[in-house]
Structure 1
């Protein structure tokens, strides 16, 4: 039988996540380790590190080469950090599975807390959400562009290019960096939509791949991330749009919280709704509440 090929970016975190998927498939199907092959594909987002993502093509820079390999039959599925996957995907590609979600919090690296940062401190980030949230909390901060994988950003910090940076707790934990940074509670900084989730895509008409991946799908993570991505779709948010969102499920109820911010963080709007996890009206209702209550400087950043 041909090997089942997992496509991935080549960063240490991406490879770690691909190996997580590989291990989950081996366990779920009781197959030999050599039945699954990890195929590394270098993306444009990995090659271009000196400009903000929104200036050079957005999140598609992380996915387009993997999409091409998938649609050309070079790989059977593609492993992604779901927060890096653009909202509107090619019709021929299906999000087939998600692993159980990890810690959704951001961690502040370089200071014990946001309050502990010196006045006028330099914070490195490439995320419009993180930049706007930090400007809202600390208008005195200077925000500079920080791009690259975890090690690259930590090296920039060590070299003195900034006083602090923000990294996803999930990525740090997956790389074994449990002691790096200080977690910021979600009631202080709501995370990016789909933060902490690893998703696996395949061709929509590939019944074998879909059956393979179905056995490792975590339904609760899948439902929450689907709702968060549906919110982005309803807002018509893009890489310039500072938006945070988190869906959680308790019992039979999903709660979806979301926040929109102006780029300078001076104004923000928050909304929260609860309903059935599979109700497509829930993210639409949250998007409507946000846009109705948003001032002009926020509403112009969204197409919804």
Structure 2
């Protein structure tokens, strides 16, 4: 087995935490292995004044890391799974899905203790159409605005009073030891999470069995099952970051899995929901069934409208 492994990673503090975390876990599992990090800035990290959906979506955070691997400079890439497109480029595969961290969204404010406390007209910041739609459905009286940048940048804009409150992924704040900034954790009932939110994955060259042997020890089967179900639903819906889609899979007793999903209009005025329960061994087919059910309930019309919107132009 090789004695060195190189990880391509984005330079943002959160991405670096993720890569450092995987490095530590791999070196713990393989005491003779040395893991090196290759940090870089991607287009998605550099263009911060345009909604993510307008400049290419999820692939922005993965393609340039894959290019480093193709160039022979890196062996693996560590991703937040919610940034990973449903279809990986030819030749690439996911070799490990790590144990899921907290999948929820967090309400962060210097003035208010919870989302429900926000006064009419308060300015709420989020980069996510999924969060925006669900929160506007509950509070159409709020002024919800786009918020890009890494976690530190977003918190800085909040602290500069550009927003009354912002909503971020709970796991990101926890990983950066910013738990004290969380005023209120939104439950899945408040705001259904993004596909695989809180989950890390390791991408590698599918033909490199030696690398797979090294990284597969970090695979967490229960999280893998949930990931398969959530990604299958999203794949059936042909969803990306341009679409307000939420999904949350939970493992139940007796080897069962429950998957909840939703598709929302951009303003949150229409939200279509459904759920399925079935054997964990059928996670992929259950996810597809849920996606199909949402389409039959009217999600296709919503998706068509979203894809025709200005978010997909220019």
Short-chain TM bin? over 0.9
Measured after TM superposition, the shift of residue 186 of structure 1 is: 1.1
Judged with a 3 Å threshold, the aligned counterparts in structure 2 of structure 1 residues 296 and 214 are, in CA distance, closer, same or farther, namely closer
Summarize deviations over 1:33-68 as a string: whole Å, max 9, x none. Answer: xx1101112111001000001111111111110011
Cross-structure match for 1:275: 278
Q: Does the 8 Å CA contact 2:265/2:306 hold for their aligned counterparts?
A: no
Q: Does the 8 Å CA contact 1:262/1:297 hold for their aligned counterparts?
A: no
CA distance in 1, matches of 2:281, 2:144: 39
Q: Does the 8 Å CA contact 1:268/1:298 hold for their aligned counterparts?
A: no
Q: Does the 8 Å CA contact 2:6/2:38 hold for their aligned counterparts?
A: yes
For normalisation by structure 1, the TM-score amounts to: 0.95
Measured after TM superposition, the shift of residue 297 of structure 1 is: 4.9
Judged with a 3 Å threshold, the aligned counterparts in structure 2 of structure 1 residues 19 and 295 are, in CA distance, closer, same or farther, namely closer
SS in structure 2 of the partner of residue 195 of structure 1: coil
Measured after TM superposition, the shift of residue 276 of structure 1 is: 2.1
The 5-angstrom pairing of residues 127-138 of structure 1 reads: 127-138=128-139
CA distance in 2, matches of 1:31, 1:149: 34
SS in structure 1 of the partner of residue 290 of structure 2: helix
1:54 aligns with 2:53: yes
CA distance in 1, matches of 2:299, 2:51: 26
The 5-angstrom pairing of residues 83-232 of structure 1 reads: 83-110=82-109, 111-181=112-182, 182-232=184-234
CA distance in 2, matches of 1:94, 1:21: 17
Q: Does the 8 Å CA contact 1:237/1:302 hold for their aligned counterparts?
A: no
SS in structure 1 of the partner of residue 261 of structure 2: strand
Q: Does the 8 Å CA contact 1:81/1:198 hold for their aligned counterparts?
A: yes
Measured after TM superposition, the shift of residue 238 of structure 1 is: 2.4
SS in structure 2 of the partner of residue 179 of structure 1: helix
SS in structure 2 of the partner of residue 79 of structure 1: strand
CA distance in 2, matches of 1:179, 1:45: 27
In structure 1, the gaps of 5 or more residues are: none
Summarize deviations over 1:56-81 as a string: whole Å, max 9, x none. Answer: 11111111100111122210100011
Q: How many residues align?
A: 301
Q: Does the 8 Å CA contact 1:247/1:255 hold for their aligned counterparts?
A: yes
Judged with a 3 Å threshold, the aligned counterparts in structure 2 of structure 1 residues 296 and 41 are, in CA distance, closer, same or farther, namely closer
Summarize deviations over 1:231-290 as a string: whole Å, max 9, x none. Answer: 111001122210000111123111111111010001111111012223131011101111
Cross-structure match for 1:44: 43
Runs of 4+ off more than 4 Å: none
1:285 aligns with 2:284: no
1:265 aligns with 2:268: yes
Cross-structure match for 1:18: 19
Cross-structure match for 2:238: 236
CA distance in 2, matches of 1:98, 1:132: 28
CA distance in 2, matches of 1:140, 1:7: 43
CA distance in 1, matches of 2:87, 2:300: 25
Q: Does the 8 Å CA contact 2:232/2:285 hold for their aligned counterparts?
A: no
CA distance in 1, matches of 2:93, 2:4: 20
